[in-house]
Chains A and B, each alone.
Chain A
């Protein structure tokens, strides 16, 4: 029997990524979560192996793989460490991808190879204290002054913020033009006035250094404008279409991990003289978990496959992200339930999965925003 959407290349890819993650990431996954530590020792290996340039073309230092490969890689990495899956998803889909899709040849040459080889880490800086789902409500500004933009921004909850070198800053270049006055400026760490704030002490995804990034009168060269002035929201939406597939794949990976742990524990743990798996109450949970995971996988792969066909993907990506994130919530919750009291302890991995899953319903568009997107697509 062959799996839908998947060909031999994807199977080889999945096996290879899984083997790497089991060997290099599994032994430290719990520790980096507890210590809230970004594992450079593994990230550097991943950089050499192409994980930071999954879809970038080979001539720019990337692996040149398709969107379905990207989804499988994020799924597999997140199955072992969701925080590292998050780092890769954001770096590949909302930092590197917009540079490839909207950048000039000179911008490609300047940033893409460094990002694709993982020698520089990318970040996407849209959210502000008072502008999250309401992206058009940002107040950051980038005003022209000679050969530079003078950037003032207060960006919060920046994934990879603590390690990012190349940041896509959404700012108003024409404050009078409303939504059409928002642009994307690429700011590099080290620019005077570029400040990385304290790391957030998060519930989950703790190995990812999420921080605020602030720019105070930072002078960024004029040729760091990505795309055209005023194109910011369009770039953001295009990036988020790809990003949603990544976050959906991440949620799928977490759910898959929780299912595996739930099954393992149900087979091992004895209560009332038999393994948990013999109790019908537990069987019902396992059946629901497996079904949720399967359905999420089909939706995620379909969205990725649709993008690879060059077809419009907003709806498929939004549905996949909504469903997979909600499924991750349900499945990790059930996995904790199967573990009973032990599932509430850091001694068991499901406790981490439960915390990690929660944010997939929030970031890169909340479940509610996704429902709005889907409804708009359905109702016209």
Chain B
């Protein structure tokens, strides 16, 4: 059986000094948490054969993250990009991805990173599984063929959990579980040798503008405030025993040490 894996990736904002991320090419990169997920899918392909499709939703700059995925060894790349999608929350993102995944065709495993390095919700993977009504296992660090589908291992504190899940199944991959491969130069040349990234608009997905973007999103960011951490230095007086007593007293009052 040839395995078809789909990896959902995100082109994240590298820096947002004033709280607003500008999605320019130089300020965007492939979400570092998605790289292990991509690596997991590519290793599965290397071990068992099959194909890997990468999928992203976002502004056109996302094509560069998809090209990186192609250069790493993915076979097909789909960019869902439409101005109507701007402002979509995680639920709408999950719905759009699920619609695209149905349009891409039959699949065996759907991979996500555990979260994104910019908005950091960790919701899109499990939400997409819910929309698709498929089983979901989070933080997976080993994938093998199971009795009736897939056997998925994850770490919980010091315990290994092993799950049996019927195919197709949705997973997020633990960030430390798979070391992403370095991108080869011929891989980059091949990624750009033909127009490999497919661009899909809303029309391709039979979605309307009122179902997506800000209009379709039940949540929105109400307020953004920079967290300022003040550090102070206080010199303790006296001999060491007095200094220790003063320190313990202070830590107790701060609530970091039980009295």
Please give the residue numbers on chain A whose beta carbons come within 8 Å of chain B beta carbons, in ascending order.
1-3, 8-9, 11-13, 15-16, 19-20, 23-24, 45, 48-51, 54, 58, 62-65, 69, 73
Contacts and interface: CB of A to CB of B under 8 A. Distances in A.
A3 B26 CA distance: 9
Interface in B47-79: 63-64, 67-68, 71
A1 B26 CA distance: 9
A8 B192 CA distance: 9
A49 B185 contact: yes
Nearest to B184: A49
A196 B187 CA distance: 36
A16 B189 contact: no
Given A12-B192, A51-B185, A65-B189, 11 more contacts: A2-B25, A8-B25, A8-B67, A9-B67, A12-B71, A15-B29, A16-B68, A49-B184, A50-B187, A64-B186, A65-B188
B191 interface: yes
Contacts of A69: 185
Closest 8 CB pairs of A and B: A50-B185, A63-B185, A16-B183, A9-B192, A49-B184, A63-B186, A20-B182, A50-B186
B24 interface: yes
15 contacts: A3-B26, A8-B25, A8-B64, A8-B192, A9-B67, A9-B191, A9-B192, A13-B185, A13-B188, A16-B188, A50-B186, A54-B185, A62-B186, A64-B186, A65-B189
Contacts of A49: 182-185
A51 B24 CA distance: 28
Contacts of A48: 184
Interface string B182-223: 111111110110000000000000000000000000000000
A74 B167 CA distance: 46
B182 A12 contact: no
Contacts of B189: 58, 63-65
Contacts of B25: 2, 8, 11
Q: Choose among B184, B185, B192 the residue with the greatest number of A CB atoms under 10 Å from its CB.
A: B185
Tell me if B's interface is mostly helix, strand, loop or mixed.
helix
B216 to A, nearest CB: 30
A16 B181 CA distance: 11
Given A19-B182, A20-B182, A11 B188 contact: no
Given A12-B71, A15-B68, A45 B182 contact: yes
B81 to A, nearest CB: 14
A13 B192 CA distance: 11
B222 to A, nearest CB: 31
B46 to A, nearest CB: 15
Contacts of A11: 25-26, 64
A65 B185 contact: yes
Q: Choose among A1, A9, A12, A48 the residue with the greatest number of B CB atoms under 10 Å from its CB.
A: A12
A45 B184 CA distance: 10
Contacts of A54: 185
